[in-house]
Structure 1
C-alpha cells in the first residue's frame, strides 16, 4: 500500500487559554488526492494548513508529510522541508514586486541549491505550460490578478513538490480569472499532483476536489469523497 502524503494523528493546537483552534484532528491524504478543506471563519482551516506547511507546531499530536515528521522540526529544518516537499499558493499571490516574473519563479530553486541554468530551464517550462511565458521579463505589478496567480503556481511547482497547498487561491480574483485558476488546479490534479485546498467557495471545492473535509470549531465534522459526483 502506498504511504500517505499527509498523516495527522490526534493533532490539537491551542493558543493561550482559549478553546483549541484544532482539537484532536486525525487526517490522512493519499498521493494524487485533491482535498478541499471547508468551514466558517475561525473553524481551524488556516491553522490546519499552517501545521501541514510547518509554519506552526501542534500543541499535541503528530504531523507527517512525505515521510517527514514536521512537528519535530526546528525553524531551519522546517524551511528545508518546505523547500523540498511543499509548494504554497496564497490568496494575495505573495510575489516580490521588485523581481521579474522569471526571477520570482526561480527563487525557490535558488534557495534549494539548484544550478542556475537548470533553474532557468525549469522556470521557462512552467511559465510556458501555465500560459504566462510572455511575461517572464515583466514585473508582477503589471499583470492581472489571474496572471499573477498563475505565476504564483509556477513558483510553487518549481521544486516539484510532493504537496501543493492552496489558501483561498481564487479569493482575490474576479469570476473569469477564478475559473481559469480552477481549470489550472484541475489540470494539475489530473497530472497527479496532490493538492490540499482551503476555500470558502463551495463551487471551487466541488469542481476541483475529490474529497471535502469540513471543519467546525476545530474538529472534523465531515469527510466526504466526491468521486461519484465528478
Structure 2
C-alpha cells in the first residue's frame, strides 16, 4: 500500500536554518545554531543523551515551540512565524505525531480514536470512514475496530496511534520514543512497522535513545550533544 499519505514531490520536507532555542538568559541553549535539511522519503533518527536538544527539536518541528533565532520550514511552511491558531491548523494538516505512551482516548473505540483527526479537520464522514478502514487494514489491526484501547497489547495500541497520526495524510510523521513503553516483542513489531512505512515513502523523524530502533528504521542518523549536531550519518542500505 503506497497511498497512505506520502508526498511524492522531490525536495526537502524539513529545513532548519541557523536555529537556536534558549530558555533562560545566560543558560546554555537547548539548540545552538542548528541547520538541517531532510528530504522527502527520508527516515531521520535523532539520537543523544537527555538534555541534548532532541525534544526541543521535535517541538520546533511540531510548531509547539518557537526558535529564539533562525528559521524552521516544514513542507513549505515557515513554522516559526505561525500564530497559535495557525500552528494548531498546521499540526492538524501536515504533522502526524506518535508518542511513547500512545495518548489514545480510552473511552473511545479504536475506530473512533483513528477518526478523531479527520473529524477535527472537517473531513466528510464517508471519506473519513473509508480512510480509517484503509489504515486499519494496512496496519493489520482492522479486527480490533470496535475494541477499546485498554484491551489491546502495547504494540497494537501503538499501531492505533500510528493510524491516527496518518489519518490526514501528513507529509511528516514525528515519533517520540515510540518503543519506550513497549516490551521486547512489541518493540520489535513497531520497529518493523516504522521501517515499512518509510519503505512505502513516508518521511519520518524519530527521536529515540534506542540505537537498535534507529538502525532498524532510519535511513539517516544525527547525534545531538549540548544542542549541536555532532554527527550526521547515512545508514547502510536496508
The equivalent of 1:221 in structure 2 is: 230
Residue in 2 aligned with 1:37? 46
Show the counterpart of 2:78: 69
Partner of 1:227: helix, strand, or coil? coil
SS in 2 for 1:88: strand
Query: CA separation in 2, counterparts of 1:135 and 1:205?
Result: 29
**TM (normalized to structure 1)?**
0.98
Which of these residues, 66, 69, 72, is aligned with residue 60 of structure 1?
69
RMSD of aligned alpha carbons? 1.0
Q: Is structure 2 residue 135 aligned with structure 1 residue 126?
A: yes
Deviation at 1:213, TM superposition (A): 0.5
For these two proteins, the number of residue pairs brought into alignment is: 229
Check if 1:49 corresponds to 2:58: yes
What corresponds to 2:16 in structure 1?
A: 8
Q: Which residue of 2 aligns with 1:170?
A: 179
Which consecutive segments of 4 or more residues in structure 1 shift more than 6 A? none
Structure 2: distance between partners of 1:3 and 1:149: 29
Q: Which runs of 5+ in 1 are unaligned?
A: none
SS at match of 2:33: strand
1:143 deviates by: 1.0
User: How is 1:79-228 mapped onto 2 (pairs within 5 angstroms)?
Assistant: 79-228=88-237
Q: Distance in 2 between matches of 1:129 and 1:158?
A: 12
TM-score, length basis structure 2:
0.94
